Amino acid sequence: MAIKTAEQYRESLKDIKPTAYILGEKVDKVHEHPLIKHMIAGVAKTYEMENDPEGSQYLVTKSDLIDEDVSRFVKFYRSPEDLLAKVRMLRFLSHQIGTCYMRCTGMDAMNSIGIEAYNCDQKCGTSYWERLQEFVEYVQRNDLVVFSGVTDVKGDRMLRPSEQKDPDMYLHVVDRNNDGIVVRGAKIHQTGSLCAHWGLVVPTREMRESDKDYAVSFALPTDAEGVIHVYGRGTLEMRPTEGYDLGNVEFSKFAPLVIFKDVFVPWKNVFLCGEYEYAGDMVRNFGNYHRHSHGGCKCGVGDVLIGAAATACDYNGMTKRPSHINHKLAEMLKVTEAIYGCSIAASVESKPTPSGIYAVDPVQSNISKLYEGKELAEVVRMMIEIAGGMVADVPSDKDFENPEIGPLLQKYLKGAENVSTENRIRMFRLIEKLAFESRDIVSNIHGAGSPETHRMTVLRNSNIDEKKSFAKKLAGIKEEA
């Protein structure tokens, strides 16, 4: 069963019993909760697309581990073509879903762990790479969803993990025995953890010898004993709890806090434990990969933003678009295509690592994310400018259904003569979600690391001295040794 259907994915969740708290209450049937089921719908759509004639061209590929067709979400990046295919897949999926589909982080974690697990084995004689490949084979054969646990809560940001007054501010190993390890701590912003079957944990930063207990990477089921998922609130929550208004998209995103309360992990699922020299590169690999992923998915969302703005313009009666609107649309296209182009370049310029996994070009992938973090907000702003103020306060479906005022709303909220009021309202509801869903807006800025991290990575991987030499040569400057 290397390729599941959407229905098989939903059925598989019935066997998972995670410990979850939502708005102060412990929830037993978490996958049926109104604040979770619409997020599961986004993941289910990826499975639907795996079995769709058009979608399968983007989402399905051949595994070199099990020699079967598998989801691209669970495959190692073995070539620049794999990385190009990933970006194109994510753009395609964003056109279908319009928000997060919560499978990218596991895909990127799998590859970032693989590079350093292999390197560690070569130097330290460990068997992490073999263990990881066995885990990935299992994930591929069962077409599972994997989330990544990367971002620790961090406590006092000026102190290293081992310097914290409370040692649990970074996830760490608290016990080891012949069977495995025991870990304690918490990971925040865990996109889709309640939609997943398994999680892959990655250290959140570089470590020193004093931090070696924090240099840990492993896999675990989302319902493992001691794992607690706490739903993280977002805007527009009343919509799914009350029942969506007309035109609201069925897909949503969430990112819980995941607490590890003395969780046991068997050695077969441990991929780094104490080899602190590999923690920094592991998380940097993840960051580069995930910023590369954003270049596909956020460009795809940008396509939807542009399409929504242009449609709202038509529905407002301006089918012959004024020059100022065309100017905005051109600026929106400039941003989204620059985001996409940098991720394409990061794929083309990728390099093989000793593990056989290809690493994306870090400069291009991080510049893609910097464009997203700053400029995609401008795309959202211009979408709202074009659409108009009705995005903010359209009456509810209940008002439209009221026999006394419903006909009046149909009358006064109509735009272009050849467009129904219903279709106009549907578009405004979509724009409202695209613009005001806080999880996606903040993710544009802080997803895959803070903007300052992106800038540091660009600088670390750019040769400024070489660029100075170009300028000096052209200026005719000859310096003494």
For the stretch 265-321, pLDDT in tens is 999 999 999 999 999 999 999 999 999 999 999 999 999 999 999 999 999 999 899
Check if the beta carbon of residue 430 is closer than 8 Å to that of residue 318. Answer: no
Distance CA(214)–CA(142), nearest Å, equals 31
pLDDT at 442: 64
pLDDT at 439: 61
Give the residue among 77, 75, 12, 4 at the shortest CA–CA distance from 46. 4
The whole-number average pLDDT for the span 377-390 is 93
pTM, to two decimals: 0.91
Whether the per-residue pLDDT at 246 is higher than 90: the answer is no
Percent of the chain topping pLDDT 70: 95
Residues 458, 218, 99, 188: is their CA dihedral positive or negative? negative
Give me the CATH topology for the region 6-279.
Butyryl-CoA Dehydrogenase, subunit A; domain 2 (2.40.110)
Give the residue among 304, 281, 346, 386 at the shortest CA–CA distance from 100. 304
The whole-number average pLDDT for the span 186-192 is 92
32-37: list long-range contacts, CB under 8 Å, 24+ apart.
34/240, 34/241, 35/231, 35/237, 35/240, 35/241, 35/252, 35/254, 36/194, 36/195, 36/231, 36/254, 37/240
Residue found by looking up tokens 């394409």 in the block:
344
Check if the beta carbon of residue 243 is closer than 8 Å to that of residue 237. Answer: no
Whether the per-residue pLDDT at 245 is higher than 80: the answer is no
Q: Which residues contact 80 (CB under 8 A, 6 or more apart)?
A: 347, 348, 350, 358
Whether the per-residue pLDDT at 443 is higher than 70: the answer is no
Check if the beta carbon of residue 475 is closer than 8 Å to that of residue 468. Answer: no
Percent of the chain topping pLDDT 90: 76
Whether the per-residue pLDDT at 54 is higher than 90: the answer is yes
Q: What is the dihedral of CA 242, 307, 321, 413, to 10 degrees?
A: -10
pLDDT at 391: 87
The whole-number average pLDDT for the span 460-476 is 85
Other Cβ atoms within 10 Å of 66 Cβ, number: 14
Please, which pLDDT band fits residue 396 given cuts at 50, 70 and 90?
Answer: confident
- 404 burial type by CB count under 10 A (0-12 exposed, 13-18 middle, 19+ buried): exposed
Cα 351 to the center of its chain, rounded Å: 23
The whole-number average pLDDT for the span 77-84 is 97
Distance CA(421)–CA(408), nearest Å, equals 11
132-140: list long-range contacts, CB under 8 Å, 24+ apart.
132/271, 133/65, 134/268, 135/219, 135/268, 135/269, 136/65, 136/74, 136/76, 136/110, 137/65, 137/66, 139/74, 139/110, 139/198, 140/2, 140/63, 140/65, 140/66, 140/68, 140/70, 140/71, 140/74, 140/75
Distance CA(444)–CA(371), nearest Å, equals 10
Check if the beta carbon of residue 301 is closer than 8 Å to that of residue 42. Answer: no
pLDDT at 132: 98
CATH 1.20.140.10 range(s) for the chain read: 282-464
The whole-number average pLDDT for the span 217-240 is 89
Distance CA(45)–CA(189), nearest Å, equals 22
pLDDT at 232: 85
Whether the per-residue pLDDT at 480 is higher than 90: the answer is no
pLDDT at 440: 62
Please, which pLDDT band fits residue 69 given cuts at 50, 70 and 90?
Answer: very high
CATH 2.40.110.10 range(s) for the chain read: 6-279
CATH code for the domain defined by 282-464: 1.20.140.10
- 192-227 pLDDT, tens digit per residue, is 899 999 999 999 999 999 999 999 999 999 999 999
